[in-house]
């Protein structure tokens, strides 16, 4: 038992493990995530509906969304942005790891007569011959990727963008990093049954990596017949560190904002958004 507890509470190296499939491809947790996505009153998997509507208005104005504009939405979830942008005559492709979310998004597109291409795939592995005018990665998905994965994504973005194309993404700030504390929690059915429909015991270990500006929420879920660990990594950025990553992959940051609705940049905000243009 002592050795098991030592393992549960062990601090890994930053981004040592990648367990996205345990969250997005698991039958039970993907159902829970979709439920959060579709709850218009909370900011969990997606923003509140009022924010999404305001965000789409700003994106359409700031980035000239309309007929003939090709958009790739990486981490599209159930298509909350993709559908609204397609209603503005944009040609939208949505990519997401969750089969359940993609199925829901496709059902909505069919119901509403929207021509959207949805791809059920880990976007790290997405390849296409299409070229886009705009790429979105919203809800701080970029922060869940390791430095190697982020470079891979930005190079992919550069490859599939038209000349002069843009990327819009949001990230967690240093203000958010400073607001987090290390800790350990143990609960029966941690997060009210989020991790399994069966009885389980959950451990949450939160680690801060000061020099890397990374937070890890490490979940260990113990059921009667299995034990699994899910690593939720969150990289935090300054404008300078984000601009550096963009520049090294062939982009220049044209604008910084507090969020993807275009609110003026505030360094005290927990998040910020960037529009970067392909050089």
pLDDT tens profile 155-164: 999 999 999 9
Number of other CB atoms surrounding residue 95 within 10 Å = 23
pLDDT above 60: residue 11: yes
Is 86 among the domain residues? yes
Q: What is the separation of C-alpha 223 from the centre of its chain, rounded to a whole number of angstroms?
A: 28
Q: What is the mean pLDDT of residues 30-34?
A: 80
Give the integer Cα–Cα distance in Å for 274 and 245.
12
Domain containing residue 143: 27-173+236-278
Is 117 among the domain residues? yes
The CATH code of the domain that includes 67 is 3.40.50.150
Pairing of strands 132-137, 116-120: unpaired
Give the integer Cα–Cα distance in Å for 115 and 29.
28
pLDDT above 60: residue 43: no
Q: What is the mean pLDDT of residues 243-264?
A: 98
Asked if 144 contacts 241 with a C-beta cutoff of 8 angstroms, the reply is no
**Banded model confidence at residue 27, pLDDT cuts 50, 70, 90:** confident
What's the number of domains the chain is made of?
A: 1
pLDDT above 80: residue 201: yes
Position of tokens 């005559």? 89
Is 133 among the domain residues? yes
Worst-scoring range by mean pLDDT, 27-41, 49-63, 138-152? 27-41
Q: What's the pLDDT score for residue 21?
A: 77
Is 202 among the domain residues? no
Q: What is the mean pLDDT of residues 37-57?
A: 77
List of residues 6+ apart from 273 with CB closer than 8 A: 168, 169, 170, 171, 256, 257, 258, 259, 260
pLDDT above 80: residue 41: no
Q: What is the mean pLDDT of residues 23-51?
A: 74
Give the integer Cα–Cα distance in Å for 150 and 155.
9
Is 119 among the domain residues? yes
Across the chain, mean pLDDT equals: 94
pLDDT above 90: residue 20: no
Worst-scoring range by mean pLDDT, 35-44, 83-92, 249-258? 35-44
Asked if 124 contacts 149 with a C-beta cutoff of 8 angstroms, the reply is yes
**Banded model confidence at residue 165, pLDDT cuts 50, 70, 90:** very high
Q: What is the mean pLDDT of residues 144-158?
A: 98
Is 61 among the domain residues? yes
């Amino acid at each position: 038992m002592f050795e098991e507890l030592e393992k549960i509470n062990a601090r890994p190296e930053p981004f040592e493990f990648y367990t996205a499939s345990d969250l997005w491809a698991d039958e039970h947790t993907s159902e829970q995530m979709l439920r959060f996505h579709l709850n218009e009153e909370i900011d969990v998997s997606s923003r509140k509906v009022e924010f999404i509507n305001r965000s789409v208005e700003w994106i359409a104005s700031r980035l000239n969304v309309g007929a003939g504009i090709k958009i790739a939405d990486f981490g599209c979830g159930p298509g909350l942005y993709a559908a609204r942008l397609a209603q503005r005559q944009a040609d939208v492709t949505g990519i997401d790891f969750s089969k359940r979310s993609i199925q829901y998004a496709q059902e909505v597109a069919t119901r509403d007569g929207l021509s959207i291409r949805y791809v059920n795939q880990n976007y790290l592995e997405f390849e296409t011959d299409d070229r886009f005018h705009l790429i979105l990665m919203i809800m701080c998905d970029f922060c869940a990727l390791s430095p190697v994965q982020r470079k891979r994504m930005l190079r992919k973005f550069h490859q599939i963008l038209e000349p002069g194309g843009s990327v819009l993404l949001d990230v967690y700030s240093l203000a958010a990093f400073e607001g987090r504390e290390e800790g350990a929690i143990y609960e029966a059915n941690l997060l009210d049954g989020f991790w399994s429909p069966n009885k389980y015991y959950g451990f949450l270990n939160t680690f801060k990596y000061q020099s890397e500006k990374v937070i890890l929420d490490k979940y260990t879920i113990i059921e009667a017949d299995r034990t699994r660990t899910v690593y939720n990594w969150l990289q935090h950025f300054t404008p300078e560190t984000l601009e550096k990553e963009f520049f090294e992959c062939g982009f220049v940051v044209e604008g910084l904002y507090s969020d993807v609705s275009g609110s003026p940049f505030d360094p005290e905000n927990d998040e910020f958004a960037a529009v970067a243009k392909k050089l």
